[in-house]
């Protein structure tokens, strides 16, 4: 598989931009956007489904004052399985898919467009972007996707931390929040989300693209093998999630305040409350060790799936 993908990649460089006529260029751009949307949607769906039980467990700890440990996390997984069944470990995953599929599709597609626009602006058309534009492209892509899909993220968090009797389905969550807490609640926690997405998406895409560029330079091969992409993606996820994790805890607290007994508050008041009650390190980095397990797996799967799907679709189109 590696050789086949590599040979196809030699002919179809990911950052290659041949000069075409206006009509042909517009048609090619349209195909590229559709290809990026489809590849991103599949990448996000596979990655999130693979780590859904760990993600749900992490959210439960994030929004409670319960102390996190690996032992307690796996105990929670085990008792959830015993009391509610195996499929309950994926509770909220349908809401996750409703959010992740458009989020990942938009993020990956936006990243490709931002790379192209910044490449033209800085005069690097058809070449790898230099570091700062590379970081900016990732941050802008993450911000674009988060802004367009945020209410779905809040719904997914609510479903993850509540018993199934409280919310029957995704639409039920929207209806109850609108009636009982007001429509503005659907964007509660949006600011810390964007503040967290900027370093997370920026560093993730930057790290992954940088590692691929270094690989090209030192290996002499135009494209890495799939397992190498997985490793590059894992490194990207580790760095990105570690940098943005405290804001992830704050946004989860704000998103679920209406159902966990915490008061609705601002970013600063929520931050102070967490530090006061649980301490800076234990409170703001609660569940980070689980993120170090699930994050690299998810991001590795996501980046690898996107790249391989892009290569496959380009070969089919040619």
Mean pLDDT value of segment 151-155 = 84
Task: Provide the pLDDT confidence category of residue 4 given band limits of 50, 70 and 90.
Answer: very low
Exposure b/e, 274-312, CB count within 10 A at least 16 = b: beeebeeeebbbbbbebbeebbbbbbbbbbbbbbbbbbe
Question: CB within 8 A of 110, min separation 6: which ones?
Answer: 140, 141, 144, 145
- 222-270 pLDDT, tens digit per residue, is 889 999 999 999 999 999 988 888 888 888 888 777 666 666 677 888 8
Residue 1 has pLDDT above 80, yes or no: no
The whole-number pLDDT of residue 254 equals 83
Q: Judge whether 25 lies within some domain.
A: no
Residue 68 has pLDDT above 50, yes or no: yes
CATH number at residue 131: 1.50.40.10
The whole-number pLDDT of residue 189 equals 81
> How far is C-alpha 58 from the geometric centre of its chain's CA atoms?
15
What is the extent of the structural domain holding 273?
37-312
The domain tally of the chain equals: 1
Q: Judge whether 28 lies within some domain.
A: no
Which of 5-19, 84-98, 191-205 is predicted least confidently?
5-19
Give CA–CA dist 126/68, Å, rounded: 47
Q: Judge whether 153 lies within some domain.
A: yes
Q: Judge whether 9 lies within some domain.
A: no
The whole-number pLDDT of residue 25 equals 64
C-alpha neighbours within 13 Å on the C-beta side of residue 60 = 23
Q: Judge whether 210 lies within some domain.
A: yes
Mean pLDDT value of segment 185-189 = 83
Q: Judge whether 53 lies within some domain.
A: yes
Mean pLDDT value of segment 29-50 = 92
Task: Provide the pLDDT confidence category of residue 6 given band limits of 50, 70 and 90.
Answer: very low
Residue 192 has pLDDT above 90, yes or no: no
Task: Provide the pLDDT confidence category of residue 57 given band limits of 50, 70 and 90.
Answer: confident
The whole-number pLDDT of residue 263 equals 64
Mean pLDDT value of segment 184-201 = 88
Q: Extract the runs of DSSP E, i.e. beta strands, from 202-250.
A: none
Residue 117 has pLDDT above 60, yes or no: yes
Q: Judge whether 5 lies within some domain.
A: no
Task: Provide the pLDDT confidence category of residue 43 given band limits of 50, 70 and 90.
Answer: very high
- 271-318 pLDDT, tens digit per residue, is 888 888 888 888 888 878 777 888 899 999 999 999 999 999 988 887
The pTM score is: 0.76
Q: Judge whether 163 lies within some domain.
A: yes
Task: Provide the pLDDT confidence category of residue 24 given band limits of 50, 70 and 90.
Answer: low
What separation, in Å, do the N-terminal and C-terminal C-alpha atoms of the chain show?
19
The whole-number pLDDT of residue 198 equals 94
């Amino acid at each position: 598989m590696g050789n086949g993908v590599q040979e196809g990649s030699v002919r179809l460089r990911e950052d290659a931009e041949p000069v075409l006529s206006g009509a042909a260029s517009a048609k090619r751009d349209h195909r590229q956007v559709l290809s990026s949307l489809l590849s991103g949607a599949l990448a996000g769906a596979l990655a999130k489904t693979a780590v859904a039980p760990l993600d749900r467990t992490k959210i439960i700890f994030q929004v409670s004052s319960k102390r996190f440990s690996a032992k307690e996390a796996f105990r929670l997984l085990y008792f959830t399985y015993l009391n509610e069944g195996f499929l309950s470990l994926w509770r909220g995953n349908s809401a996750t898919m409703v959010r992740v599929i458009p989020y990942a599709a938009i993020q990956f597609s936006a990243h490709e467009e931002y790379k192209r626009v910044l490449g033209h602006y800085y005069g690097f058309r058809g070449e790898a972007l230099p570091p700062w534009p590379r970081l900016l492209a990732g941050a802008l892509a993450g911000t674009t996707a988060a802004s367009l899909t945020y209410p779905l993220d809040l719904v997914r968090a609510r479903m993850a931390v509540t018993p199934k009797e409280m919310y029957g389905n995704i639409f039920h969550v929207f209806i109850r929040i609108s009636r009982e807490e007001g429509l503005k609640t659907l964007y509660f926690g949006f600011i810390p989300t964007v503040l967290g997405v900027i370093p997370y998406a920026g560093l993730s895409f930057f790290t992954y693209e940088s590692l691929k560029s270094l690989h090209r330079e030192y290996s002499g091969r135009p494209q890495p093998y799939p397992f190498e992409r997985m490793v590059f993606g894992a490194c990207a996820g580790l760095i990105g999630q570690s940098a943005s994790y405290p804001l992830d805890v704050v946004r989860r607290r704000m998103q679920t305040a209406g159902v966990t007994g915490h008061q609705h508050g601002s970013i600063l008041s929520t931050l102070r409350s967490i530090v006061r009650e649980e301490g800076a390190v234990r409170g703001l980095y609660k569940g980070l060790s689980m993120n170090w397990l699930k994050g690299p797996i998810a991001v590795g799967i996501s980046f690898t799936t996107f790249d391989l799907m892009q290569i496959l679709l380009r070969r089919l189109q040619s």
